[in-house]
Amino acid sequence: MMSIGSIVESSGDSYVSRRLLMQLLNFSREDLVLHTNDVLSPEQFARYEASLQRVLVHKEPLAYVLGFETFCGLDFEVSSDVLIPRSETEQLTSLIKDNIVSYWWTKRLIFCDIGTGSWCIWISVAYSLADNISSICLTDISKEALSIAEKNASILIGKKELEKMSFYQANLLDFLSDVDYKWSYVVLAANLPYIPKNYLGVEDDVVRYEPSLALFSGDDGLEHYREILLQIRGLLFDQEYSLYLECIAEQTLWLLTLTSDLLEATCQVHATLHDNIKVVEISNIDNLL
């Protein structure tokens, strides 16, 4: 049998090989270096080879093979029931966090994570600010995704924070009928599907393995955003709110137009680490002041 060092060198992708070995052996990066001459048992090597084939041959995302993805310094359990957290979403979380710091003291604050998936946005945005948030609502239309979110919550936060949280299997803002949100400032993080049905810029492995329910939104990718903007117009017209979402760069003009047509609100577009992905902030705070 080959040593760990030889296995990594012959793998064809040293990064993937190291990540798989670290999980298999419960090793840190330093452990892997220190044990470079160790030899895997036949059973360990068979498990490693099977995982490597999934990634390199079948092009399954590494995060699904490992069962977790690191986002904003935390490890989140993921499966094919939820999207894999991506680096460009960190810009969205940073923007929301700055907003909460700026406005939490003005009135009661409710934070809503719409389409929560793995739950990575909430914990990355507001965990350190939880004492200033009155109520936390996390929703997903997928029962399986919501189960992943609840599991990550139970692992990553304490009982005190969990008591503020409510999980809803619901479509967009349908859950608000169960929430006392009047006279509150409502912060909505809505990392919803926004890829057009026949969009050519999606990697094959994303289409094959990640949940289509969380990726695609009609012919132009804006079906979910139209629906949530209409819901906001009907439910939140008389109180303060801010909505944060992601979109493809070419959709920004359409979102600006939709916002102007449907809401008395401002719409700002922010860059992310990915040139083709933008974060859009829609807020009526200035309009109600």
Please check whether residues 22 and 96 belong to one and the same domain: no
Residues 139 and 255 grouped into a single domain: yes
Answer yes or no: do 143 and 17 share one domain.
Answer: no
The reply to whether 259 and 210 lie within a common domain is yes
- Flag whether 77 is in a domain: no
**Does residue 281 share a domain with residue 237?**
yes
Residue 106 in this model has a pLDDT that exceeds 70: no
Among 255, 264, 263, which residue's Cα sits nearest to residue 287?
264
Q: For position 183, what pLDDT does the model report?
A: 83
Per the listing, tokens 């959709």 go with 251
In this prediction, residue 2 carries a pLDDT of 83
- 68 lies in a domain? no
Q: What is d(CA 7, CA 262) in angstroms, rounded to the nearest whole number? A: 58
Position 275 scores a pLDDT of 85
Based on its alpha-carbon atoms, the radius of gyration of the chain, rounded to whole angstroms, reads 21
Residues 6+ away with beta carbon under 8 Å from 54: 60, 65
Q: Are residues 39 and 98 in the same domain?
A: no
Task: Assess whether 172 and 213 both reside in one domain.
Answer: yes
78 falls within a domain: no
Report the alpha-carbon angle 180-89-91, nearest 5: 90
Beta carbons within 8 Å of 10's beta carbon, 6+ residues apart: 2
| Six-digit token string for 246 | 């992601």
* 121 and 161 in a common domain: yes
Structural domain including 270 reads 89-288
State the pLDDT at residue 104: 59
C-alpha span between 189 and 70 (Å, rounded): 20
Percent of the chain with pLDDT over 70: 95
Residue 156: helix, strand or coil by DSSP? helix
State the Cα–Cα distance between residues 182 and 227, nearest whole angstrom: 21
Q: How far apart are CA 247 and CA 251, in angstroms?
A: 6
Q: Residue 69 domain-assigned?
A: no
CB atoms within 10 A of CB 211: 17
The residue to which tokens 């393995």 are assigned: 209
Tokens 């989140």 belong to residue: 76
Instruction: Supply the pLDDT for residue 105.
Output: 60
Per-residue pLDDT band at 206 (split at 50, 70, 90) = very high
Query: Same structural domain for residues 230 and 106?
Result: yes
CA distance 11 to 24: 15
Is 263 domain-assigned? yes
pLDDT one-digit tens code per residue, 256-270:
999 999 999 999 999
75 within some domain = no
Taking residues 107-131, report their average pLDDT.
82
Report how many domains make up the chain: 2
Q: Which of 58, 73, 103 is the C-terminal boundary of a domain?
A: 58
Instruction: Identify whether 204 is part of a domain.
Output: yes
Q: Is the pLDDT of residue 132 over 90?
A: no
Give a yes or no: residue 72 inside a domain. no
Structure tokens at 127: 């965990």
Q: Are residues 107 and 207 in the same domain?
A: yes
Provide the CATH number for the domain around residue 174.
3.40.50.150
Q: Mean pLDDT, to the nearest integer, of 61-86?
A: 93
Strand partners, 111: 136, 187
Residue 148 and residue 284: Cα distance in Å, rounded? Answer: 33
- 128 pLDDT tier (thresholds 50, 70, 90): low
The mean pLDDT value for 139-159 works out to 90
Name the token pair of 235. Answer: 């439910």
Claim to verify: residue 268 and residue 130 sit in the same structural domain? yes
Q: Are 257 and 122 found together in one domain?
A: yes
- pTM, full prediction: 0.90
Residues 6+ apart with CB under 8 A from 77: 67, 68, 118, 148, 151, 152, 155
